[in-house]
Amino acid sequence: MDKVRASALDAVSDIPDGATIAVGGFGLSGVPSALIQALHAHGARGLEVVSNNCGVDGRGLGILLAEGRIARVTGSYVGENKEFARQYLAGELEVELVPQGTLAERLRAGGSGIPAFYTPAGVGTQVATGGLPWRYGTDGSVAIASPPKETRLFAGRPHVLETGITTDFALVRAWRGDRHGNLMFRRAAANFNPLAAMAGRVTVAEVEELLEPGELQPEDIHVPGIFVQRIVTLTAAEAADKHIENRTVRG
């Protein structure tokens, strides 16, 4: 039952080339930075990532993207990452853009054993009818486009069928966790982390504070240990290494 690994590198050392990986975080909040750094050191390539966004230039998943380690991204937001946009438009990266709430529900559904669900989000757009560019050609043409999806009326309102997402691995960051893999998140850093943790067949969690079994109250556990296979304890410096994308101050 003790799921603690000696190091982040040890915890990700069996992730192979071409693996699918769900990654928690939103912008740079709650990003499993130590595990991403370890995956970078491990050297896996051709990764297919499911994450709200792909980090920023030089931070988070951006460090894997910059070296061409990521082959495909399923996410909601290109955002502040110029290299992400460049690779996508140059035809070097396949990108499936998904409405943010739909992405969250696809991860939750996959982790709950639900193969698919209907949602009104995206009806009347290329999300439902197909044709969204997944990959561009080097000449700027659309090399791969999204397929049309099944739609159905419920109470007279059209809904589109979306599939659940499961991945080979998941990388998440939690505030507190115990040796059995139970996790607790702090405020907005929860974001996509619980959902990613559910979707991974092998979930690796880095925790800022490691507790003994029983120290977390049941009502404080956001992800039960059944969803988590490996735990990595962050050093004090790693736990404090939290960056902000855009800092706003009052003059």
Give the whole-angstrom CA distance, residue 181 versus residue 165: 22
Q: Is residue 125 part of a domain?
A: no
| Per-residue model confidence (pLDDT) at position 251 | 67
pLDDT value at 247 more than 90: no
* Per-residue three-class SS string for 177-194: EECCCCEECCHHHCCCHH
Q: Is residue 150 part of a domain?
A: no
pLDDT value at 80 more than 90: no
Supply the range of the domain harboring residue 83. 17-115+164-239
Which has the closest alpha carbon to 4: 239, 237, 233? Answer: 233
Name beta bridge partners: 117: 162
Q: What domain count does the chain have?
A: 1
Enclosing H/E stretch for 63: helix 62-66
Q: How far is CA 146 from CA 12, 18, 96, 125, 177, in A?
A: 31, 21, 8, 12, 39
Per-residue pLDDT reduced to its tens digit, 82-115: 999 999 999 999 999 999 999 999 999 999 999 9
| Per-residue model confidence (pLDDT) at position 27 | 83
pLDDT value at 79 more than 80: no
Q: Are 205 and 194 in contact (CB under 8 A)?
A: no
Q: Is residue 28 part of a domain?
A: yes
Q: What's the whole-number average pLDDT of the chain? A: 94
Q: Are 58 and 40 in contact (CB under 8 A)?
A: no
Q: Is residue 200 part of a domain?
A: yes
Q: Is residue 149 part of a domain?
A: no
Range scoring the smallest mean pLDDT among 27-31, 55-59, 224-228: 55-59
Q: Is residue 88 part of a domain?
A: yes
Mean pLDDT of 224-249: 86
| Per-residue model confidence (pLDDT) at position 180 | 97
% of the chain residues with pLDDT over 90: 86
What pTM did the predictor assign?
A: 0.94
pLDDT value at 53 more than 80: yes
Domain holding 33: CATH number?
Answer: 3.40.1080.10
Mean pLDDT of 203-209: 97
% of the chain residues with pLDDT over 70: 98
Q: Is residue 86 part of a domain?
A: yes
Q: Is residue 244 part of a domain?
A: no
